[in-house]
Amino acid sequence: MADIALAHDYVTQRGGAERVALTLTRAFPKLPLHTTLYNPSGTFPEFGAIDVKPMPINRWKMLRAHHRLALPFLKGAISHCRVDADVLVASSSGWAHGIQTTGRKVVYCHAPARWLYQTERYAGSNNSHGIRSRAIEAVSGVVGPNLRAWDQQAAHTADRYIVNSTIIKRAVAEVYGIDAEVLPPPPAMSALTATPQPIARIGQPFVLCVARLLPYKNVDTVIEAIAQIPDLDLVVVGEGPERRRLESLISHTGRTHLLGRVSDGQLRWLYENSSGLVAASYEDFGLTPLEAASFGRPTAALRDGGYLDTIVENVTGVFFEHPDVDSVASAVEEMVRLPWSTRSIINHSESFSESRFVARLRNIVEEELAHC
């Protein structure tokens, strides 16, 4: 029987990459998931039913709680990890693709490491982002050249590279010189997921923003844009180091609700009852518009990156050209004003099903096993 193994960068947060890692465990059930760091309280509870195998670096509690502090140490942790398997499937945004294996290696790349190749965007160039941004830039400046060399070598240990969107296909070609197959991941949240759990303090109408609170997500711009639109509230779902700054930004208005993390049931209720989604971040794959679409809700999104793959203009959403306050406000006003075909929006989301993703991934692994 073929021996297949799974890996992911670190299981310490809740995001699209972690959703994909969970999908991998459903595509290949009962297999352990190898990773650098595991923080059960910081990530999705579904990982509790999986045999997560963290590396020795996981013994440091501070690094489990703040994985960005581990940046200088992850190369060593990954380089000393060897997984015995006929095929290793690695979910990677810059680390897991470096895990050694005795057999073939398939990498599902969410993006080449942002902090290596897009440092300013990842950290945030605005001075208001403070010490954290300067620390990331400083660390990247010191260790960046060495880590880029390691990263390039790690990428070329893969036998097969798969990417989540056309923009990442281009990025992988530019950064690594690798021609990768595009396999979009499925939306994790859908109308079939969880039982809706109402949130009493949220009134309608409102628009929804689902994003980690990081500088490049442009949540501050969304907050300021919606504040310009009368009689429309904003609900922000997500956690991150920008939270304190955003809380100070919304202190003057009662129409913005910064919820932090919510349960799947609460998120389902928010999607179902929203007037639409606002997505102003630089994304490698536009996952949240697909989640909104599964509930028949449109999206107002930045005309950039993965959103170009997952939004059909004037069918499932509208675009704005720049992530500035006036552009976002104008697009949101258009979104809430236009009539939408709920059926057309839902049909679009169904073309990105988990069954399609799993079937193709299993076929890829079978093809690699044929080379063993």
pLDDT tens-place string over residues 238-283: 999 999 999 988 876 668 999 999 998 999 999 999 999 999 998 8
Confidence of residue 195 (pLDDT cuts 50, 70, 90): confident
Collapsed DSSP state (helix, strand, coil) of residue 3: coil
- CB atoms under 10 Å from CB of 337, counted, come to 9
pLDDT above 70 (res 224): yes
Quote the pTM value: 0.76
Environment class of residue 254 by beta-carbon count within 10 Å: exposed (0-12), middle (13-18) or buried (19+)?
Answer: exposed
What pLDDT, on the 0 to 100 scale, is given for residue 253? 61
Q: What is the pLDDT of residues 90-101, one digit of tens each?
A: 999 989 999 999
Using an 8 Å Cβ cutoff, are 94 and 76 in contact?
no
Q: Smallest Cα–Cα separation from 27: which of 364, 355, 292, 247?
A: 355
Environment class of residue 132 by beta-carbon count within 10 Å: exposed (0-12), middle (13-18) or buried (19+)?
Answer: middle
Minimum mean pLDDT range among 166-175, 191-200, 336-345, 351-360: 191-200
Confidence of residue 113 (pLDDT cuts 50, 70, 90): confident
Report the distance separating Cα 204 and Cα 264, nearest Å: 20
Using an 8 Å Cβ cutoff, are 187 and 289 in contact?
no
Report the distance separating Cα 343 and Cα 20, nearest Å: 26
Q: Where do runs of H (alpha helix) occur along the chain?
A: 16-27, 61-65, 71-79, 114-117, 119-123, 130-155, 166-176, 219-226, 243-249, 264-273, 287-294, 307-310, 325-337, 342-350, 354-369
50 CB-side CA count, 13 A: 30
Q: Average pLDDT, stretch 300-304?
A: 96
Q: Smallest Cα–Cα separation from 204: which of 339, 297, 329, 301?
A: 297
Domains of the chain: 4-186+353-369 (3.40.50), 206-350 (3.40.50.2000)
The distance from CA 281 to its chain's CA centroid, rounded to whole angstroms, is 11
Collapsed DSSP state (helix, strand, coil) of residue 264: helix
Minimum mean pLDDT range among 13-22, 113-122, 148-157: 113-122
What pLDDT, on the 0 to 100 scale, is given for residue 128? 40
What pLDDT, on the 0 to 100 scale, is given for residue 122? 47
- Return mean pLDDT, the chain: 90
Q: What is the pLDDT of residues 125-146, one digit of tens each?
A: 444 444 444 445 555 555 678 8
Using an 8 Å Cβ cutoff, are 330 and 278 in contact?
no
Strand partners, 109: 92, 163
